[in-house]
Amino acid sequence: MKVATHSIKKLFAVGILMVYATISFAQEAPSLTDPEVASVAVIANQIDISYAEIALKKSKNKEILEFANRMVTDHNAVIKQAVDLVTKLSVTPKENAVGSSLLEEAENTRKKLRKAGKKKFDKLYIDNEVAYHKAVIGAVKGLLIPESDNKELKSLLEAVLPALEAHLGHAEMVQKGLHSY
């Protein structure tokens, strides 16, 4: 029963990432090694930084700019922790299907963000941030943490979760403000 619940959680986590990425590369949850988990974690953070960098160039909205700056600072802090850890563990992050799919979809999203007119950009950006953080929180909880064997890697992912949840709360506040105009 416990195994079944675990599998359902994994499927759910992968499912929401796939919905976000609009991909359908597998019906079963992938099995990831620690180097692959580390790679996905770093990629997920890099992707959000890339969205924030576009926002910092295109937006004039104070709340959007503050949020984007926060994403750059916090996700860089997570990447630094991850790099320090894999260096300490002598592990090389390994490319994998989950990371590749995320990168592919991120490129599509960046194209949409770059194309968006000034009036639509802020809402597009913050709507994407809400969806992206929901997807990543689900994936960290349901896939990356369960798939991590190394205790320190698992612990780092667990430490990142509250930040992702705080980012989601912040994004939803900004979203509510924008949609009330």
What is the binding site for other proteins (CB under 8 A)?
Answer: 70, 73-74, 77, 80-81, 159, 162-163, 165-167, 169-170, 173
Separation CA 133–CA 164 (nearest Å): 6
Using DSSP, state whether 25 is helix, strand or coil: coil
Least separation in angstroms between CB 170 and other proteins: 5
Rank residues 73 and 87 by Cβ distance to other proteins and give the closer one. Answer: 73
Query: Two tokens at 181?
Result: 């105009």
Rank residues 46 and 81 by Cβ distance to other proteins and give the closer one. Answer: 81
Rank residues 29 and 71 by Cβ distance to other proteins and give the closer one. Answer: 71
Least separation in angstroms between CB 129 and other proteins: 14
Query: Two tokens at 94?
Result: 């390994």
DSSP 29-86: PPP--HHHHHHHHHHHHHHHHHHHHHHHHH---HHHHHHHHHHHHHHHHHHHHHHHHH
Rank residues 78 and 135 by Cβ distance to other proteins and give the closer one. Answer: 78
Separation CA 146–CA 138 (nearest Å): 12
Least separation in angstroms between CB 15 and other proteins: 26
Rank residues 95 and 158 by Cβ distance to other proteins and give the closer one. Answer: 158
Least separation in angstroms between CB 112 and other proteins: 27
- The CB-side HSE value for 93 (13 A sphere, CA atoms) comes to 20
Using DSSP, state whether 90 is helix, strand or coil: coil
Least separation in angstroms between CB 133 and other proteins: 12
- Dihedral sign from CA coordinates of 46, 21, 108, 180: negative
